[in-house]
Structure 1
Amino acid sequence: MPVVGGFKALGYVFYYVEAHIACIFLLTILLYKIAKGVNKQLSQVYLGDVIFVLMLYFLAEIFWALVDGGVITSNKPLLYLSNIFTYMLLSVASYIWFVLSETLQQDTIVEKFVNRVLLSIPVWISGALCLTAYKTGLVFYVDENNKLVGGKLYLILIVVPFGYMIAASIKAFVRAFNRDRYTDRSIYFMIGVFPITPILLGALQARYWRVPLLCYGAVAAVLYVYITSTDNLISLDPLTQINNKNQMYKYLAQKMRSEEPGLSLFLLMVDIDKLKNINDTFGHLEGDRALVRVANAIKDTCQGPRSRFFLSRYGGDEFVIIAEMSYRAEATWLADQIKHNVQRLSETFGTAYDISVSVGIAQYDYQAPISLQAFIARADSDLYKQKKAGVY
């Protein structure tokens, strides 16, 4: 990112341009993998947008270096233009990252177009100041020696992009430490850590402004996000977008090794009643819709400011909830709430069939430990008793 002041030194241009071309090449590979991937979630779309804008930003940095180094004849209009592109694109990339971070954390504030527009206001203000800098000189201007100098409001150009990243980071860390959600923590920490490298290397580049540090920091951060997001996708069931069986095994094994004071460990096995009839009568596509709706109903039931639940899809029509509660009565109440919320789906979605579930409950005894498979088998056995007794 260009910083005001300094002198021209043609020797650095080659290395500066080379570094940004290398970063563009790496980002092109990531963008290609995202575009060709089977995952078309909104978060992946936003990540692709961040990468694309960063590539444009790196091109703008190359243009700036060519102007600053005298490869392209330097004059006032070109000096203004090269800096306008870099500052505006960096702000846009940071704004999209903020929207992406909120999407990854399932914050509904960014779902509405109006809210996204309101959140983008700092970008518009920063852009307007850049575009009018030639006339006003408020954020930067070219002095009589044809040198770029910071204006009275130059700090805004720094605060806006890094402000978005820092805000996203703070929100993510707060959520990571305040929410008792095992699988979400990797996402929260990823979002929290993301700005560290770009900000640190960006600060160094502000001091040594002809050394291409920020581009490496940005690429490293984006690569970290891509790898973490991919790992997270591997841990999710592709249909219902909740944890898969492997993640459930990891979490359950961890909980069976460490007892929480004052809490008992419960495993609830949820099975959709007569899902085969839905598939046979209405088709497997409708059966998939029923699975997703039941998963969402269970997820909604398990939400809460003090919830200690881990939800996963266990098999074709089975779900597992791992819960830490004080009493078995709480687990029974949770099972009843799940049944009630699932039964309301027919009314909510106007389906031509009724949906119900059966729930089996098992409580883990830390004084008489058993294997993970045996613990699951206890819940499965209780589920079978519920079905046989016709308790829906």
Structure 2
Amino acid sequence: MNDNIVFIELNVLCVTILALVLMKVVSGLSKSNRVDVSFARVIIAHIFMTIFYCVTGLLSDMGAHTLNGINLILISRTLCDIGVYLSVYSWISFIMKTEKPFFEKDKKGVLIWAMPFAGLTALSLYSPFTRMFFYIDGSGMLHNGDLALFQKVVVYMTALLASSTCFTSSRKYDDSDKRKLVASIALYPVLPFIAAVAELYTSGCFVPAASMLMLLMIFFNNQEMMIYKDHLTGLNNRSRLLRYLEDRMENGRNGLYAIMMDVNHFKEINDHYGHVEGDKVLAYVADSLKAVMDKVPRKAFLARYGGDEFILIINMDSEGDIKNLVKAIKRKVGNFGPGLKKIPISIACGYVKYDKKYCDIDSFIEAADEAMYRDKYKNRNDNANMMPEQALPADFNRVS
């Protein structure tokens, strides 16, 4: 009886904690944010799994003494298995949307990852008749079937294979906080797999608690990341930049450049058209910068430094490469897609290469800032001609 009480309390605690996390995720949910929507689905699937883990455990402990009781246990155990499949597959979908590995690029890849779980679901539905994954003995007690270990191995080996994509992609990040988040996502199936194997040889129920702990680790690491995000542009904020630069400058890596960028005539945009339009301009510039960097096969750190200033930290082989990157940035910011009117926006860029003479972060950033202002004043006549009393179009929306 005491074991049942502990079992119920543990599962109720897991469901309660996951429900609180879900409320937190949903409260800040944006339908356009595929990652947040996907993580919410992961939590919902785990709540479903935990509930049926609890129900199945209680029913099996009581035993089945009637035909209805037997059917109830078999249905509950089948739904418990399906809950596990949904939990793991929703987590794999979460990886797809977080890291965008190669298998997300086409629908065939998504279907390939769904196939093991579709097959296992079919086998679980037939297990009451075949006794493959579970069965009820003559005394009415629920037991694991002959292929129960195979079932768990297929589920968690599929999850571990998906995890390998996270470990591979984590190498592209210089940012320690981002690496930590990706590592926590990749490590998710390890503890639940150990718990699932332990359940085969003990009477315990460890998977819900193990899964909850791993989801909490992902959630807290993601929350820490969000603290350092600029909410308007989605870029890293100034605090995150300083932490990042502190690490990079301490290592003294060669070929490290800082590019400082500033929107020309931004004060006039705010004064003339209002801060709402000014925010749209900043969002557009941020999206343009991200679009450029997506095509650059280099590790880079992009942040909003403050106001209309942006900064890019990147390693390059030569000054010529940096100049080409600056040209690409300026061209992208002034290049609007089909159907959009020309909007008077341009950007000034200045870059500086890291050197030991920059004794601290401030001096390094200040040097990039001075280079940016030299570029701004050098081109101010051309920029002035772009700005005069031209109104931003009424249909000016954020361009991704």
The answer, yes or no, to whether TM exceeds 0.5 is yes
Q: For 1:27, which of 7, 12, 18 is the aligned residue?
A: 18
1:337 aligned partner, one-letter code = A
1:322 maps to 2:346? no
| Pairs within 5 Å for 1:35-54 | 35-37=26-28, 41-54=33-46
TM-score, normalising length: structure 1: 0.86
Q: Tell me the CA shift for residue 313 of structure 1.
A: 0.7
The answer for the alignment partner of 1:89 in structure 2 is 83
Q: For 2:167, which of 173, 177, 189 is the aligned residue?
A: 173
- Looking at structure 1, the residues matched to 239 and 355 of structure 2 have their Cα atoms a distance apart, in angstroms, of 23
The answer for the alignment partner of 1:234 in structure 2 is 227
1:161 maps to 2:155? yes
Report if the CA contact (8 A) 2:178-2:225 is conserved.
Answer: no
Give a deviation string over 1:263-321, Cα, whole Å, max 9, x none: 32221101122334444555544433332232222223223574032111111211101
Q: Tell me the CA shift for residue 238 of structure 1.
A: 1.0
Structure 1 residues 183 and 278: alpha-carbon distance in aligned structure 2, compared to 1, 3 A threshold: farther
Report if the CA contact (8 A) 2:260-2:372 is conserved.
Answer: yes
**Which region of structure 1 is more displaced relative to structure 2, 316-325 or 210-219?**
210-219
Structure 2, unaligned runs of 5 or more? 384-400
Give a deviation string over 1:61-94, Cα, whole Å, max 9, x none: 2211222111775643123112101110011011
Q: For 1:64, which of 39, 56, 70 is the aligned residue?
A: 56
Structure 1 residues 238 and 161: alpha-carbon distance in aligned structure 2, compared to 1, 3 A threshold: farther
| Pairs within 5 Å for 1:211-230 | 211-230=204-223
1:62 aligned partner, one-letter code = C
1:270 maps to 2:261? yes
Q: Tell me the CA shift for residue 95 of structure 1.
A: 0.8
Structure 1 residues 25 and 57: alpha-carbon distance in aligned structure 2, compared to 1, 3 A threshold: same
TM-score, normalising length: structure 2: 0.84
- Looking at structure 2, the residues matched to 165 and 319 of structure 1 have their Cα atoms a distance apart, in angstroms, of 38
The answer for the alignment partner of 1:5 in structure 2 is none
1:310 maps to 2:336? no
Report if the CA contact (8 A) 1:169-1:192 is conserved.
Answer: yes
Q: Tell me the CA shift for residue 158 of structure 1.
A: 1.5
Q: Cα RMSD between the aligned structures?
A: 2.8
Structure 1, unaligned runs of 5 or more? 1-9
Q: Tell me the CA shift for residue 329 of structure 1.
A: 2.2
2:377 aligned partner, one-letter code = K
Structure 1 residues 312 and 101: alpha-carbon distance in aligned structure 2, compared to 1, 3 A threshold: same
The answer for the alignment partner of 1:128 in structure 2 is 122
Give a deviation string over 1:336-381, Cα, whole Å, max 9, x none: 111112221x235613414321101122222x23332122111111
Aligned residues: 378
1:254 maps to 2:247? yes
- Looking at structure 1, the residues matched to 227 and 298 of structure 2 have their Cα atoms a distance apart, in angstroms, of 24
Structure 1 residues 351 and 199: alpha-carbon distance in aligned structure 2, compared to 1, 3 A threshold: farther
Report if the CA contact (8 A) 1:176-1:188 is conserved.
Answer: yes
The answer for the alignment partner of 1:13 in structure 2 is 4
Q: Tell me the CA shift for residue 157 of structure 1.
A: 3.1
Report if the CA contact (8 A) 2:63-2:140 is conserved.
Answer: no
- Looking at structure 2, the residues matched to 201 and 71 of structure 1 have their Cα atoms a distance apart, in angstroms, of 24
- Looking at structure 2, the residues matched to 214 and 79 of structure 1 have their Cα atoms a distance apart, in angstroms, of 19
